[in-house]
Amino acid sequence: MAAGHYSPDSDINATRPLRIGYAAGAFDLFHVGHLNILKHAKSQCDYLIAGVASDEMLELTKGVTPVVPLFERLEIVRHISFVDEAVAEVVQDKMETWRQLRFDVFFKGDDWRGTPRGMHLEREFAAVGVDVVYFPYTVNTSSTMLRRALDALTRPDAASRWQTRAIEGTS
């Protein structure tokens, strides 16, 4: 299949419809947890679309300014071998995203499982025949932990400690 946007009407194998998956995320400070989610998602679908949250969406939904800008995050994600297509996620409403992309399965981190938001999403997607599959987050690595480490490194007191170590040759 050629790179670019998948069209449900352009199925190469007419005898078996493709199972289209959608995995959304910030994919900021890309790490092995992100890779694991995309790898597991691809193992459960034929065509994987990765939604990369726009900078504005991250600020709106998480109150976080990404370290890596959207166009760079898109470039990184679209070059992951498990990803067939990467799109900018610019709306908060997952049903609106579904109306645009028409995926069959939605992949999400298990921190949503059993939450009011997760249960609402499951009900909405069930009504249109979309399965919701949860994946566990990688315990030892997270963007939040990486962001905290970067913040600590950029604080004046943290920066002076690193400079002292560099001068002493202990870093």
pLDDT, tens digit, 9 for 90 and up, residues 125-153: 999 999 999 988 665 655 565 556 555 55
Q: What pLDDT score does 32 carry? A: 84
Q: What pLDDT score does 28 carry? A: 87
15-73 tens-digit pLDDT: 567 999 999 999 988 888 889 899 999 999 999 999 999 999 999 988 888 889 999 99
Q: Within a 10 A sphere around the Cβ of 51, how many other Cβ atoms?
A: 25
pTM, entire model = 0.75
Predicted confidence (pLDDT) at residue 111 exceeds the cutoff of 50:
yes
The answer to whether residues 127 and 94 touch, using CB atoms and an 8 Å cutoff, is no
What's the CA gap between 67 and 5, in Å, rounded?
27
Q: Within a 10 A sphere around the Cβ of 154, how many other Cβ atoms?
A: 9
- Pick from 45, 105, 20: nearest CA to 11: 20
The answer to whether residues 55 and 69 touch, using CB atoms and an 8 Å cutoff, is yes
pLDDT classification of 123: cutoffs 50, 70, 90: very high
Residue that has been written with the tokens 């069930």 in this structure? 126
Predicted confidence (pLDDT) at residue 155 exceeds the cutoff of 80:
no
SS3 of residue 8 by DSSP: helix
Q: What pLDDT score does 143 carry? A: 56
Residue that has been written with the tokens 């994600």 in this structure? 77
- Pick from 164, 25, 169, 10: nearest CA to 94: 25
The domains of the chain, with CATH numbers, are 20-144 (3.40.50.620)
91-108 tens-digit pLDDT: 999 999 999 999 999 999
Q: What pLDDT score does 109 carry? A: 84
What's the CA gap between 148 and 154, in Å, rounded?
10
- Pick from 144, 101, 98: nearest CA to 122: 98
Q: What is the mean pLDDT of the chain?
A: 81
Q: What pLDDT score does 2 carry? A: 36
Predicted confidence (pLDDT) at residue 171 exceeds the cutoff of 50:
no
Q: DSSP H helical segments within the chain, as ranges?
A: 32-42, 55-62, 70-78, 94-101, 116-127, 143-154, 156-168
